[in-house]
Structure 1
Amino acid sequence: MQVAGWHVELEFDEDESHTRAAALLRLRDGTELRARGRATRDPRDPNEPRIGEELAGARALLDLAQQLMAKAGAEVRDLERV
């Protein structure tokens, strides 16, 4: 059995009402997938940066997941042609 690992990096940029997340996923084949996510705080909500990070981060990770599914699907199709 071979043990594999991936590295995901998330960085956040915030102001008083917006949080932006940038995600980077490095795969074993050398592929790097990048994604972004955003969150906007309603002015009536308390200023709690952690929540904005969680929402923006989750949206960036969802984008990464969709990219990863598309990559895997394309690789399966390529193998089926052989």
Structure 2
Amino acid sequence: MPRFFLDLIERTIATYATSFLGLLLADGFDLTNLSALKVAAMAALPAALTVVKGAIGPWIGSPRTAAWLPAGKDPSASAAG
């Protein structure tokens, strides 16, 4: 699997997990409540926006990653992959 897709998948999962846990903690951390499903659905929005942001990444920054950093400043651009 190309480096770009692995990078985008990692960013999306991290964004979803962070959003989900943050919203769950703000809601009172009650997994038995129906609001946990609402929290899971709400956390999907930032994750979806991460996919959109990452899809634009190759045109703005390094063509091999989802980063918006310029290719010369992206630390992963010089890594083998």
Shorter chain as denominator, the TM-score bin is 0.3 to 0.5
Higher relative contact order (CA 8 A, sep 6+): 2
TM-score (norm 2): 0.42
Structure having the higher Rg: 1
Q: What TM-score does the superposition give when structure 1 sets the normalisation length? A: 0.41
Give the number of the structure whose residues are more often helix, by fraction. Answer: 2
Larger strand proportion of the pair: 1
